[in-house]
Chains A and B, each alone.
Chain A
Amino acid sequence: MVKKVIVEATINGDPVELLCEPRQSLLEVLRDELELTGSKEGCLTGDCGACTVIVDSRPVCSCLMLGVEAAGKNITTVEGLATGATLHVLQQKFLEHASLQCGICTPGFLMSAKSLLDHNPTPTEADIRYALAGNLCRCTGYDKIVKAVIDAAKHVADGVGTTHHGKVPRKSASEATRDMLGKGEEVK
């Protein structure tokens, strides 16, 4: 067996040093060596996008990148999306719009959408559909995912960035969601 290699990388802001086999994918390293199981394995061939992470500001299918290639890179996974207990605006909007059913594709969609908004804070619906076309969702028909990203983009454009709703609001959740969904419809 080939000897393991020491890899140093920055993952979700933390310097990380790990041992991995040269044949292990970044996804495998994240999930099995670092216990960051938020990135999901759906195909291992780069077709479903469930394992999407951000590597030095670009969205990457972590199943298509070797763990050893992570050396010196800055990697963000879904576990690094929220700031402490404060959810990222995309996470909040996915919840409010009921953009997930089973939720297995959600981490990948969130990372692809984050990458889009990082590069283009004012995307059109077509921009959003194009940016998310590498992520498969089998539950939702994409409608509520696209609406959540449209809504999140509005908040980013308004300079809100992230929301304060780290904890799900207790009393006004349904009203807030309803108001917001009304707005979501108008965007269409």
Chain B
Amino acid sequence: MSESSPHENFKVIGTRPIRPDGVDKVTGRALYGADYALPGMLHGCVLRSPYAHARIKSINIAKALKHPGVKAIVTAEDFPVVKGVMAQVGELIVNTHYLSLNIMAREKVLYDGHAIAAVAATSRHIAQEAVELIEVEYEVLEPVMTAEDAMKPGAPILLEEVRTKLMEHRTDPGSQEGPDRPSNVPGHIRFERGDLVAGFRGADFIVEREFSTATVHQGYIEPQNALALWSADGHVTIYCSTQGSFNVRTLTASVLCIPEGSIRVVPAEIGGGFGGKTTVYLEPVAALLSKKSGRPVKMVMTRAEVLRATGPTSGTKMKVKMGATRDGKITAAEVWLAYEAGAFPGSPFAPGAMCTLGPYVVENLRIDSFDVVVNRPKVAAYRAPGSPASAFACETVIDELAEKCGIDPLEFRLRNGAHEGTPQPAGPAFKKIGFVETVEAIRDSEHYRSKIDGPNRGRGVASGFWFNGGLQSSATVNIHTDGTVSVVTGSVDIGGTRAVQAMIAAEVLGVAVEDVRALVADTDSTGHTDVTGGSRIALATGMAVYEAAHDALTQLKTRAAKLWEKKPHEVAFSDGAFTAIGNGVPPLTLKQLATRLARTGGPVTGRATLNAGAVGAVGNAFATVCVDVEVDPDTGKVRILRCTIAQDVGRALHPSYVEGQMQGAMAQGIGWALSEEYFYDQKGVLRNSGLLDYRMPTCLDLPMIEALIVEVANPNHPLGVRGVGEVGIVPPMAAVANAIYRAIGVRMTELPMSPPHLLKAILDRRNQAVTQAAAAD
């Protein structure tokens, strides 16, 4: 790294230029995955299980194959049997055996919507017709739909080979916890320190509560899609919307048992992901259909397929017991968490445990967290995976403790707030963090200082913690002959990151940001780059761009030295111009020097590749939010009157897109809090597989979202940047619950706090009061 400390005199960083891909996106020209087409292209469609849990007795594709226009059909028979290998993908660990089974069911279907077969035909309609002609015989089995039920002794078993294992032993065979018998609990993690008994003994107040949260979906507006061409020479090209083109390559290769190098993935513009597009569903299927038909095959999911069969995030069951002294010091915390993984192991049960209580100093604690398989779609990452649910539980209990202590809930958080050196629940101590600063930003905000009055109105606050992903990135910075610059990375631009990469290069090279073009390259055109996830693009890919721009700058200095017949160290660079130290040659701007590159050795390209570090090691993010609500006590409907989010972003490179991340995360959190929920019937069939009934917030449901940018520089980044994409979704659910309590006196421990759930809680409380009054009489 060329410079070790952030500096304040930026020219480009901190401004709000228009994003380089903006015009294409407001004119309809930008090509998203479903917008690609190739000559001779076929359309693929998937047959999906109508049952939550069943054995597949037979599949008959004869009739479908005869349907005019059908060119190929694949079932699990066409896929290789994949041995289980654990692969680290973004923040989650993927078992390729289960990945393969999730993509195409073999022997058993494990959730409503599980893929069974796929058809390629000359049109989407014909493929759909053919899918309906495939005959499948099932032996229907009893489904198990919740973590609570799946953990009971005697529960139906989803995967016979699964044994309960402690996290650190999960790859050793025969290291199960307890008896050697099939289990629906493939993972258990425990963090423990101090003395719980003594901690609770020292408490003046103890609060103990149980919580549950519903399965919710990432809800990106663009459904999954893939266009694959398996060429006769064995090369496969895949065009798709993904958060990680290199992930698609690795995972597709592992599922199809072909060399990674035979696949090229071309990332299209992506219509949202939030973690849900870090894995593969259609890509290997489209590739195999292309191999079988000899033609390019495009597949696009319907919304119902997205909701039924792509990763939502875990529903949970949680128990929290926490104690505090009268003056508001947390003395002990005992947390029990169970995360539904869906049909295959791999819920975010570990990060959920690592993040809950992360914002606080807690000397005595025990956190147990379990991964539980149920007959629901396999979960995928969703913005700060695992942290929002466990924060909902702990932040609600903290609010209750603060109330018992008679202390302002923000003050309570400040008295217990984590800072540099505080050990995290998982053990490692935090480096420089800005948690306390986010609480102070809310405390000092006009919003928090304003009065809230009126009946059934209340204000709630909550905080949250999430890691920054480091991981691998590559960047090249090309200096063109006219002095313009192009920045090439492999990081898919999901929310304006091209603008940020262009700004970093412009800042380092002293050129106008409008003179820098930022591009996202395919997997053959750039070095390995991990997913656009883990809040890591401005952070880690930004670090690679920063280093690549410095590499270009070093080369440019050498060229200027050559022109001036000087030594490179005799050339200085500032304010966009090269000068020779010591004598009177006129300075050269980068533009002027660029025209002379041919004579001094040819083009200049700066390069950098790096691993910015493990998730969490490179940085940490905190947010605190404040929400005002009004509750209609007759219907249970909650209206958000005002909301503010304060987040430590390290340094805001492009403040508009930083605010955008905070506002978007807040909106998703409010949807999670109030309206979003999977409804399964008793047979385990999803009853709300459309966006009318899976209810995400519209702009009528939300007010403006005030974003307070807090900047506590990240010591691990040359520009002080922290990841900003995720942590904002962690606090809103608890903040809304706490606001509802202040509004009407009802403590909600179940998400969503939708009208039916909230009304039931209101009525239960009213009936309880009536019963108590009657008993007193």
Contact = CB atoms under 8 A, between A and B. Distances in A.
Interface of A: 21, 23, 31, 35-45, 47-48, 50, 77-79, 81-82, 87, 91, 94-98, 100-107, 110, 128-130, 132-147, 168, 170-171, 173-174, 177-178, 181, 188
B125 interface: yes
17 contacts: A42-B222, A47-B690, A81-B28, A98-B16, A98-B660, A101-B494, A102-B269, A103-B25, A104-B221, A136-B696, A138-B667, A141-B664, A142-B667, A143-B663, A145-B699, A168-B22, A173-B18
Given A23-B125, A144-B663, A168 B18 contact: yes
B301 to A, nearest CB: 10
A78 B697 CA distance: 24
Given A45-B692, A104-B221, A129-B699, A168 B23 contact: yes
B499 to A, nearest CB: 8
Interface string B125-142: 100000000000000000
Interface stretch (B29-37, B205-213, B352-360, B560-568): B29-37
A-B pairs, top 3 by smallest CB distance, nearest first, are A38-B28, A104-B271, A141-B667
Given A40-B222, A77-B28, A81-B27, A95 B19 contact: yes
Chain B interface, DSSP helix/strand/loop, else mixed: loop
B221 A37 contact: no
A106 B24 CA distance: 11
A129 B700 contact: yes
Nearest to B269: A103
A132 B23 CA distance: 21
Contact of A138 (B22, B221, B270, B302): B221
A141 B663 contact: yes
Contacts of B219: 138
Contacts of B117: none
Interface in B214-236: 218-223
A169 B220 CA distance: 31
Interface in B494-525: 494-496, 512-514
Contacts of A39: 28
B303 interface: yes
Interface string B698-726: 11101011010000000000000000000
Contacts of A96: 18
A91 B35 CA distance: 21
Contacts of A79: 27-29
A100 B27 contact: no
Given A45-B303, A129-B699, A139-B495, A101 B657 contact: yes
Nearest to A37: B35
Nearest to B669: A141
Contacts of B19: 95, 98
Contacts of B29: 38, 79
**Which of A50, A129, A130, A143 counts the most chain B CB atoms within 10 A?**
A143
**Which of B18, B223, B667 counts the most chain A CB atoms within 10 A?**
B18
A169 to B, nearest CB: 8
Nearest to B666: A141
A177 B655 CA distance: 12
B495 A41 contact: no
A40 B494 CA distance: 16
A37 B32 CA distance: 9
Contacts of A87: 23, 26-27
A138 B30 CA distance: 18
Interface string B269-289: 111111000000000000000
Nearest to B496: A101
Nearest to B728: A141
Nearest to A97: B656
B22 A170 contact: no
A81 B269 CA distance: 21
A82 B691 CA distance: 30
Given A95-B18, A102-B494, A136-B698, A43 B705 contact: no
Nearest to B222: A104
B5 to A, nearest CB: 25
A57 B515 CA distance: 40
**Which of B12, B28, B29, B218 counts the most chain A CB atoms within 10 A?**
B28
B704 A100 contact: no
B41 to A, nearest CB: 10
Nearest to A180: B16
A138 B514 contact: no
Given A95-B18, A141-B667, A40 B31 contact: no
A114 to B, nearest CB: 12
Nearest to A24: B125
Given A48-B303, A138-B221, A139-B272, 19 more contacts: A23-B125, A37-B28, A39-B28, A44-B302, A100-B25, A101-B496, A101-B657, A102-B222, A104-B222, A105-B221, A132-B698, A132-B699, A133-B700, A141-B666, A141-B705, A143-B705, A144-B659, A173-B17, A174-B12
